[in-house]
Amino acid sequence: MSVVSGNLTGMTSLVSHTTVDCANAYELAEWWKQLPGLRRHRG
């Protein structure tokens, strides 16, 4: 954040996609999809 002319300004961000490098992607996806509230993105 910075102060410009007496006003406090800032920046926001949103993380919408995450990439994970792993040895067994299918096994990791099966683990993640068991968590409540998560859904699989088919793309």
Model pTM score: 0.39
Provide the pLDDT for residue 40: 64
Distance of CA 36 to the CA centre of its chain: 16
* Per-residue confidence in pLDDT tens, the chain, 43 aa: 555 566 667 778 888 887 888 899 889 888 888 887 766 666 6
- Per-residue pLDDT, 23: 93
**Is 1:10 a contact under the CB 8 Å cutoff?**
yes
* Domain boundary assignment for the chain: 2-32
The three-state secondary structure class of 30 is helix
Angstrom distances, CA of residue 14 to CA of 3, 5, 8, 23:
23, 27, 20, 28
* pLDDT value of residue 29: 82
